[in-house]
């Protein structure tokens, strides 16, 4: 039977190594560019083999966007914890607002965002992650709207979540293009308000 203490130590060590490899890779991406940085470059800079790299990350894109999956789970938890008297849009907006950001300072986030919107493979993976978020969040929005279980013709919840995530995306793009001139949350609110005005009662 595995020793739980030893297993816990192994897990913490693995997590620390993964974080260090990710930090080194991000420095290379921001210095050289995402597409100009190879997996071999990252492995060499981190002092690990190419094979070891794939123990921690499936692709280069996962280094930049891997935390989005975990963030989606956090948003779902916060959405489920919102008061039942909040309407669907308000609950979703508050859940998005209350979820901690990924920890970088604003200048670094701006550099990462430029890289994200300027790299097709990263954009594609980002959209894929947001589709996963939509799957995570829609059931709670359906509950708040009173959608009957199994009613596949009531598309309100799917539409609300998809619109909210699209608002996040276009706000992020506007924030990036403006070099962060307006706060990101302000841009998200402006986008969501524009959409919400067309969906009264939700």
Residue 149 belongs to domain spanning: 66-196
Q: What is the pLDDT of residue 10?
A: 62
Instruction: Please tell me the total count of domains within the chain.
Output: 2
**Would 46 be classed as within a structural domain?**
yes
Q: What is the pLDDT of residue 70?
A: 79
pTM of the model as a whole: 0.81
Q: Which two tokens stand for residue 145?
A: 């709207």
All residue ranges of the chain with pLDDT < 50 are none
Q: Are 199 and 160 in contact (CB under 8 A)?
A: yes
User: Which residue, among 139, 131, 126, has the nearest Cα to 91 in the 3D structure?
Assistant: 139
Residues 187 and 151 in one domain: yes
Q: What is the pLDDT of residue 145?
A: 94
Residues 174 and 86 in one domain: yes
Residues 181 and 94 in one domain: yes
Q: Which two tokens stand for residue 21?
A: 């490899």
């Amino acid at each position: 039977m595995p020793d739980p203490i030893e297993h816990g130590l192994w897990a913490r060590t693995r997590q620390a190594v993964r974080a260090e490899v990710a930090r080194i890779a991000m420095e290379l991406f921001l210095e050289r560019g995402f597409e100009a940085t190879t997996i071999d470059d990252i492995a060499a800079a981190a002092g690990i083999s190419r094979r070891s790299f794939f123990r921690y990350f499936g692709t280069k894109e996962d280094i930049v966007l891997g935390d989005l999956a975990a963030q989606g789970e956090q948003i779902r938890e916060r959405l489920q914890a919102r008061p039942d008297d909040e309407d669907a849009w308000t609950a979703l907006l508050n859940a998005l607002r209350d979820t901690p950001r990924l920890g970088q300072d604003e200048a670094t986030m701006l550099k990462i965002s430029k890289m994200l919107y300027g790299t097709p493979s990263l954009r594609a993976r980002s959209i894929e992650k947001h589709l996963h978020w939509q799957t995570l969040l829609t059931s709670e929005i359906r509950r708040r709207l009173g959608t009957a279980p199994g009613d596949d013709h009531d598309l309100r919840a799917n539409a609300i979540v998809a619109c909210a995530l699209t608002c996040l995306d276009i706000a992020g793009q506007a924030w990036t293009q403006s070099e962060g001139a307006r706060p990101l949350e302000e841009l998200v609110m402006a986008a969501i308000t524009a959409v919400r005005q067309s969906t009264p009662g939700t």
